[in-house]
Amino acid sequence: MSRSRTAWVVPTALAFGFAFLYVPILAMVVFSFNNSRLVTVWDAENSPTLKWYGALLHNQQILEAAELSLRIAVLNATGAAVLGTMVGLVLARFGQFRGRTLLSALTTAPLVMPEVITGLSLLLLFVALEQSIGWPAGRGVTTITIAHITFSMSYVAVIVQSRLSGFDDALEEAAMDLGARPLTVFRRITLPLIFPAILSGWLLSFTLSWDDLVISQFVAGPGSTTLPMIIFSKVRLGVTPDINALATLMVLVVALGVIGSTLLLQRQQKRLLRDQQLAAAGD
Amino acid sequence: MSAPARSKAEPWRDAGLEPYVRIAGVSKRFGDFTAVDEVSLDIYKGEIFCLLGGSGCGKTTLLRMLAGFEQPSAGQLFIDGQDMAGIAPYERPVNMMFQSYALFPHMTVFGNVAFGLQQEGLPKSQIASRVADILDIVRMGEFALRKPHQLSGGQRQRVALARSLVKRPKLLLLDEPLGALDRKLREHTQFELISIQEQLGVTFVVVTHDQEEAMTLASRIGVMNRGKIVQIGTPHQIYEFPATRFVADFIGSVNLFEGQLVEDESDYVRVACPQLPVPVYVDHGVSAAPDASLWVAIRPEKITLERQQPDSRDNWARGVIKDIAYMGDMSIFVVLLPDGREVRVTAANVARKSGETFTWDDEVYLSWDASSPVVGSG
């Protein structure tokens, strides 16, 4: 079969794929600069305008929600990074201990668990805990953060584990052999090696928490309304242009997080490859 | 098989000398699998002791027990007279060079070598000078600021060696130290390892599956099979007087025949091998039961090819040349005996001008000295 006759297939498929994924988002971004109050009508004379972005800055409700979302996202990312790293380390470096398969399965379960079920079960847990030991008192930032950590730490664990499995087990043994105690081995060998993975996991956890709606809905209390919850409640009353602006900003934050996390891992990979080629050339 | 010319003391012959490493009845079991099976072994100061065996024979497990990464299931390990039970790897007077080298990828060559000294809490200036010294010894001084992945395989090997030597351990464990190098580099590095070892006076325990490597490096070799030590001896002893059939077969290439003792005297024996037309005559006594089934091992380089039937009542066979491999310095002949058995014969290619050359399908006679065959029952 001649190549030229099929050459159009790949670019076309690519174009359709990207269009399917990104045209809706692009439309939203474009309409966020629309001057008209009607979301679906493009006011060609006075657009583009930044007035909806300006309006956002004066909307106290949205600013508070943004601040809350940010706080939860940072707390979540940090908590998930610590716990996820611990799980990843154990899975990658502690050999075949009893219960390893169970831990491994439990780690990946939240990744595939329907959010509605995660949210509902956490809500039941929090209510039961409050009734029996009085903590957490009511639902708010604490409960949302805990809920987010339960699923974000799985991502960190998977990233850290896969990074560690790319490194020779003997590295830690070599450090120990040279006289380093276990804590020193972790601080000077393991941690520097997995740091890019932890950072990447942190960014990913941040974005996961930042745009989570379903689980937050279940475990949020009065007064703890996150940004996605505001958008969702506003949209039910009809889409307004300022929501477009807000959503555009959120997409920006998420995109930065994901791109940053990907670049971090890629840059390491590339540098390693280039240096290896250099070394091979010098042989 | 040429050992480098060097004068070697033989500390294991000195009955009064305390061994530096004493392995006493050590076993290691992983579940049902016995990796190391009641190994007892003494290693003396200044030795290069090679643990030689195929994969899965337990040699690496034994090494890892010396380093402290595995605990023996039974038995005791002593290093410099001290029982090593319960002593963590970072507290042992031992360093190890890993098969994968295990260089820390995020540190420079300098950082890698300095790591061990930093753990001792030495002052910076002293660390710098000791690192510089050892890098000079392995001729890596100019690469101190490179990262490991910017080095070639041979250079990494040197850095790994420097890193394991910089703490001046009394005992260095080397796990397949040359395994990752290509052949030419390996030969060169073998001699370098020996000279560094002599220069620093460290005791080496080397694990290898490569018998040639063991032959060149070792002062003594311990051949392992299925978790047990089957023979301990100098390279010469192991090669010339293999204690068991396994050792004879594992070390170098060898022609093995089955046979029965027909004459058993204190100073000679005759073994009848069904595959050979005449008996094998050996000019030394053998301790074996009169009707025991024996093995006879004859090295390829100890067999001579001739056109005439040897005028002797033992130690020859007749065959047809089936294959010739020209190796440059020597040729390998594969000779087919009448019953289909193949015998390997090697001959040095020195006789360029003397007319005797053999070619495919030539009928030849094989013969050997009475001192050449090794006979055993194990």
B20-41 pLDDT, tens digit each: 999 999 999 998 999 999 999 9
Nearest CB neighbour to B147, from listed A167, A193, A275: A275
Report ipTM for this prediction.
0.83
B274 to B150, B217, B293, B317, B337: CA distances (angstroms)? 60, 39, 12, 11, 11
Q: Identify the CA nearest to A166 among candidates A196, A139, A186, A142.
A: A196
Cα distance between residue B249 and residue B299, in whole Å: 10
Q: Which residues of A touch B88 (CB under 8 A)?
A: 176
Residue A191 forms contact with B (CB below 8 Å) = no
- For tokens 């890098």, name the residue: B135
Cα distance between residue B97 and residue A128, in whole Å: 56
Instruction: For residue A138, give the 3-state DSSP assignment.
Output: coil
Res A279: pLDDT: 65
Res A51: pLDDT: 87
The low-confidence residues of chain B, meaning pLDDT below 50, are 1-7
Q: Cβ of A171 and B69 within 8 Å?
A: no
Q: How would you list the strands of the sheet with B342-348, edge to edge?
A: B303-306, B363-368, B316-326, B330-336, B342-348
R_g (Cα) of chain B, nearest Å = 24
Does A89 have pLDDT greater than 50? yes
Higher-confidence residue of A133 and A272: namely A133
Res B323: pLDDT: 92
Residue A281 forms contact with B (CB below 8 Å) = no
Res B212: pLDDT: 86
Q: Cβ of B152 and A175 within 8 Å?
A: no
Q: Identify the CA nearest to A61 among candidates A231, A209, A208.
A: A231
Res A270: pLDDT: 82
Tens of pLDDT, residues A42-72: 888 887 888 888 888 888 988 899 999 999 9
Q: CB pairs below 8 Å between A and B: how many?
A: 75
- CA of B151 vs chain A CAs: smallest distance (Å): 5
- CA of A283 vs chain B CAs: smallest distance (Å): 6
Cα distance between residue B106 and residue A185, in whole Å: 13
**Nearest chain B residue (CA) to A166:** B105
Residue A219 forms contact with B (CB below 8 Å) = no
- CA of A192 vs chain B CAs: smallest distance (Å): 7
**Nearest chain A residue (CA) to B97:** A174
Q: Cβ of A177 and B119 within 8 Å?
A: no
Res B353: pLDDT: 55
Strand (E) or helix (H) holding A207: helix A191-210
Token couple for B345: 């014969």
Instruction: For residue A95, give the 3-state DSSP assignment.
Output: coil
Res A49: pLDDT: 86
Tens of pLDDT, residues A181-239: 999 999 999 999 999 899 989 999 999 999 899 999 999 988 889 999 988 888 888 77
Q: Which residues of A touch B152 (CB under 8 A)?
A: 279-280, 282-283
Nearest CB neighbour to B67, from listed A177, A188, A283: A177
Nearest CB neighbour to B150, from listed A176, A184, A279: A279
Domains and CATH numbers, chain B: 11-245 (3.40.50.300), 253-306+315-376 (2.40.50.140)
Domains and CATH numbers, chain A: 10-49 (no CATH), 60-281 (1.10.3720.10)
Residue A112 forms contact with B (CB below 8 Å) = no
Nearest CB neighbour to B98, from listed A174, A180, A192: A174
DSSP code of residue A40: T
Residue A266 forms contact with B (CB below 8 Å) = no
Instruction: For residue A63, give the 3-state DSSP assignment.
Output: helix
- CA of A256 vs chain B CAs: smallest distance (Å): 27
Query: b or e along A240-265 (b: 16 or more beta carbons within 10 Å of the residue's beta carbon)?
Result: bbbbbbbbbebeebeeebbebbeebb
Tens of pLDDT, residues A231-278: 888 888 877 788 888 889 888 988 888 888 888 878 877 877 777 676
Nearest CB neighbour to A177, from listed B89, B103, B154: B89
Q: Which residues of A touch B65 (CB under 8 A)?
A: none
Residue A45 forms contact with B (CB below 8 Å) = no
- CA of A152 vs chain B CAs: smallest distance (Å): 28
Q: Cβ of B90 and A189 within 8 Å?
A: no
Res B192: pLDDT: 85
Res A2: pLDDT: 56
Nearest CB neighbour to A168, from listed B100, B116, B150: B100
Does A97 have pLDDT greater than 90? no
Res B12: pLDDT: 83
Q: Cβ of B90 and A278 within 8 Å?
A: no
Residue B296: CA count within 13 A, CB half-sphere: 25
Instruction: Classify residue B38 as left (phi > 0), alpha (psi -120 to 50) or beta.
Output: left
Q: How would you list the strands of the sheet with B21-30, edge to edge?
A: B33-43, B21-30, B74-79, B82-83
Res B199: pLDDT: 86
Does A156 have pLDDT greater than 80? yes
Res B355: pLDDT: 56
Residue A134 forms contact with B (CB below 8 Å) = no
**Nearest chain B residue (CA) to A271:** B149
- CA of A188 vs chain B CAs: smallest distance (Å): 9
**Binning pLDDT at 50, 70 and 90, where does residue A118 land?**
very high
Res B1: pLDDT: 39
Q: Cβ of A184 and B105 within 8 Å?
A: no
A262 to A78, A140, A201, A254, A273: CA distances (angstroms)? 18, 32, 10, 12, 17
Best of B79, B106, B107, B122 to disrupt the A interface (most A CBs within 10 Å) is B106
